Each structure stands twice: as C-alpha cells, then as structure tokens.
Copies of this chain bind each other. A is one copy, B any other.
Amino acid sequence: MARLSGRDPSLLRRINSTAVLRVLRSEFGRAPLTLTDLAQATELSRPTVEGVVEGLVEAGLAEESPGGTEHAARRGRPARRFRFRAEAGHALGVEIGSHRTAAVLADLTGGFTGTVTHDVDEEAGAEERLAQAHGTVAELLDASGVGCRSLRAVGVGTPGIVDADGTVRLSTALPGWTGLQLGERLREAFNCPVLVENDANAGVVAERWQGAAAGAEDVVMVLVGLSPGAGSLIGGRLHRGFGGAAGEIGALHLLGREATPERLLSTTGEPLHPLDETAVARVFALARAGDERAERAMERFVQRLVHDVAALVLALDPELVVIGGWASGLDDVLEPLRGELQRYCLRPPRVALSELGEAAVATGALRLALDEVESELFSVNAG
C-alpha cells in the first residue's frame, strides 16, 4: 500500500540545498541574489535558506558577492548577496582518436575555458597514446590555470565498444586498444569519476548539446572517418545496445563490397593516406572542378554512405541524421545523400551536417562529464 517513509532530516536538507543551488546557478552571470530572493524563488523559509547558503559557501559552491551590498544599501542594513561559484570545479572532455588527441575544459556552468588538440600517429600503441592524452590534458590545465584537483569529472570518447566500467572491449581502429582498462588507468591519474564512451556516442551527445541536433530527441550521428561508426539518441537518451556495440557499422561494407573510405575516395588506385580533412577536401574540390576520377571517387563514397545511413535509418527511424567526422568537406555529400534516402526510406529523416566538426567527440565527452557533475551536485539521493 501507499506508505510514506518518515521524514529524513538529512534528505530534507539535501533537497533544500539542491533547490537553492539550482537557483543560484541558473542566475549565474546575472545579478547576485539576496537571501530574500532565494527564499522567494525556492519557497523555503528565510532561516532555512540562510542555513543552506552557509553550507554552500563552506563547500565552496557559493560566495558572498562583495559588489552586491553597495547597490542594495539604500536604507538600513545592506542585504547580503550571493553568487554561484562556477569556478569551484571543472569538467574535462577528452577525445582519444586514431589520428588525434583533444581535450576541452569547462567550469561548472559548462562554460568553455580552453581546448588543446594534438595529432597522433595512427600506428601509435596504447601506452604512447595514453601518455599523449595525459600530456594534452596537462597542457590544457596548465594553460587554463586550473589544478588537477579542480576536476570533478572526466569524460573520454574513443573508437570501439566500451564497457560500463570503461574497459575497451573491442577497438579495431586503435592498435593495442582492445582489452585496455582505459577507465581504470585514467582513474589512477584523476581523482574524480572518469566516464569512457564510444566516440560516435559522444559525438551525438555533443551535437544535441550545441550543434546540429539541438532540440532533437531521436538522432543518429554518423562519423564518416577511417572506421565509420554511429551514435544514436532515442528519446533523448544514448542508445548503447545490449553489449555497447550499437552503431558499430564498420562491418556493413563487408556485406556489399570490400570498400573502406580510403579506397573509395582514392583517385589513384592506392588507398588515400592519411584519410583526413585535407585529403578529403582535395578530392571533393577536384570533383567540383570536373576531374573524372575524383567524381567517380566521390560517387563511390556517397553510395557507401547511403548504404550505411540507410541501414541505420531503416532500423531506427530517427528524426534527424547528422553527418560528421571531419570539420569540412562533407557539404557536397548532403544533397546526394538526401536524394538517395528519399528513394529508400519509407519515412526519410532530416539530414544535417555536423556543426561541431572535429570538436564533436571531445565536446560530447565534456557534456557527459558535466552530466556526471550535475547529477552529483543536484541529486537528492547522493551525498
């Protein structure tokens, strides 16, 4: 039957504290708030708010705003004003990709404070890649004047199937990556939660946060890189699949033709190497200029992409497909892709280009880290 548990005073305190923190953070960047403002916004009593705010100041999450009192001091005792301390902690997003390591840092409101990117040899082994990731993060923290202790959560996006604990179960793109206990290794270095996610999954989260998928709930993002992969949101939530392998469409081409993007986009008969933004842009520019071999290469590439995307669309029926993986050069594939999907799909989705380009994976990893921080700060069950 419906029974109510007795009131738990620490739970109640936590609920109240969360409510005040939410208001403080939502007003971040605007005028600092008085205790009266906070009591009104939270519908809590003034003494309760006062006690809660003291706790938040002690925890470093709020501070009295020195400027606030001056404006308010028209008559009588000036009202104290408080603001959220966005700088009280940071979240970090890291991409460990086949050609690139990137890191991006944000404060507790999600405001970017810096980013660092380095190329990496696609043949690099696991230890070399890990060392480079650590170096990239250290460089970013240093440049941002943020200490490692300020990190409250780290998100990592990387190719392959990743278990819930951050172990890379299978990654065909990165040498020595399969079996690596990536989450555990990174947790040794960072004294905070570390979340490891498939790169395309991180990408789709990023595009929804501040890219082409803003406002959409059912999205497939296809990374058309060296080893094509896809990440999906269903009802706004990541769909990882039963074993974390959802969207690992790299093998789809084996069903049809033995065709990797490096071969499809080649104009010489030799695989295109390295397969990066510059190389792809060059092929697309040649095609636009009327070079026949480049035109055929592009046609092959679009057909390959149509196969990949159609399979995902027919299986999932998303509202929107986002095409990414490179920062530019993909514009030319959108129209042919849309046309082909119209032919094959009973209900063709919208198709859009990634707005975040090469920043998508690290940005998505950052968003996952911020989600972790927020659930820590705002969960009434925690703490």
Contact = CB atoms under 8 A, between A and B. Distances in A.
Interface in A248-263: 248-252, 254-256
Contact of A245 (B2, B16, B347): B347
What bracket does the count of chain A residues touching chain B fall in?
35 or more
A95 interface: no
A240 B44 contact: no
Contacts of A319: 242-243
Contacts of A161: 346-347
Number of copies: 2
B2 A315 contact: no
Interface string A343-371: 11111010000000000000000000000
A318 B242 contact: yes
Given A248-B346, A346-B161, A347-B161, A317 B15 contact: no
A252 B247 CA distance: 17
Contacts of A234: 234, 239
A241 B318 contact: yes
B170 A346 contact: yes
Interface centre among A314, A319, A346 (most CB of B within 10 A): A314
Interface stretch (A131-139, A275-283, A305-313): A305-313
B255 A310 contact: yes
A12 interface: yes
A344 B254 contact: yes
Nearest to A246: B317
B1 A249 contact: no
Contacts of A172: 346
Pairs A-B, 7 closest by C-beta atoms: A241-B317, A311-B311, A315-B315, A246-B317, A245-B347, A242-B319, A218-B242
Given A2-B12, A254-B343, A255-B310, 11 more contacts: A4-B4, A242-B317, A248-B314, A249-B314, A250-B346, A251-B314, A252-B310, A252-B311, A255-B256, A311-B315, A312-B315
